[in-house]
């Protein structure tokens, strides 16, 4: 018997994978209809896996009957604002007076339910938004060192020493030193 070529072996493996994928998708479909105690995962995960597999067949433009903002509308969250902050952008040696205006969404994911034609938007992460009048821009928390100003004494520069004494900077330094 002749040995299989690499191309023949690969084609065989690809066919097996195709069959396994069809079997997996069938399990997820049946899970959607199964009683709660028999489900292999949440319906949302099953739908996500099944939708991901069908994504290649999505035709644009899509007809959207409704938009479902899953975590509320993508807008500025404003609890307890405005508040003064001392802020030092990561690309700056200087600290500034800033105005914390709330949390802004940094990203979202979307899913589309074919039968209902509902587009669902899921807010994934938010971050502090700080207006820095001297820079004439909004600086996000992830691109700066910042702290709320509660007293007049706190209205000062954020120094290198302040940054070095932050617990997570100390932890990272210890991890890096331990690797050496």
Place of tokens 């739908």: 47
Render pLDDT for 25-36 as a digit per residue (tens, 0 to 9).
Answer: 999 999 999 999
Render pLDDT for 51-89 as a digit per residue (tens, 0 to 9).
Answer: 765 555 556 677 888 888 776 555 566 667 788 898 989
Q: Please compute the mean of the pLDDT values over residues 4-28 and round it to a whole number.
A: 91
Render pLDDT for 102-151 as a digit per residue (tens, 0 to 9).
Answer: 888 788 888 888 788 888 888 778 888 999 998 999 999 999 989 888 87
How many Cβ atoms are within 10 Å of 78's Cβ, its own excluded? 12
Give dist(CA 22, CA 40) in Å, integer.
16
Q: What residue spans of the chain are helical by DSSP H?
A: 6-33, 43-54, 160-164, 167-179
Between 18 and 174, where is the model more confident?
18
Give dist(CA 63, CA 174) in Å, integer.
54
Structure tokens at 146: 């910042």
Indicate the pLDDT class of residue 16, thresholds 50, 70 and 90.
Answer: very high
Distances in Å between the alpha carbon of 57 and those of 8, 52, 95, 127, 128? 28, 10, 51, 35, 38
Q: Please compute the mean of the pLDDT values over residues 39-53 and round it to a whole number.
A: 81
Per the DSSP assignment, residues forming a β-bridge with 134 are none
């Amino acid at each position: 018997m002749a040995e299989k070529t690499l191309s023949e072996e690969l084609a065989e493996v690809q066919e097996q994978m195709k069959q396994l994928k069809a079997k997996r998708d069938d399990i997820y479909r049946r899970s959607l209809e199964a009683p709660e105690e028999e489900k292999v995962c949440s319906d949302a995960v099953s739908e996500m896996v099944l939708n991901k597999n069908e994504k290649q067949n999505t035709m644009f433009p899509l007809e959207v009957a409704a938009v479902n903002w899953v975590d509320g509308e993508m807008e500025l969250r404003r609890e307890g604002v405005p508040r003064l902050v001392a802020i030092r952008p990561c690309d700056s040696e200087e600290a500034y007076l800033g105005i914390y205006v709330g949390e802004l969404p940094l990203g979202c994911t979307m899913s589309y339910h074919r039968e209902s034609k509902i587009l669902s938007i899921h807010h994934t992460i938010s971050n502090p938004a700080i207006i820095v009048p001297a820079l004439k821009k909004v600086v996000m928390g992830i691109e700066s060192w910042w702290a709320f100003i509660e007293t007049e004494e706190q209205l000062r520069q954020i120094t290198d020493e302040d940054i070095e004494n932050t617990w997570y900077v100390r932890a990272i330094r210890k991890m890096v030193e331990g690797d050496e």
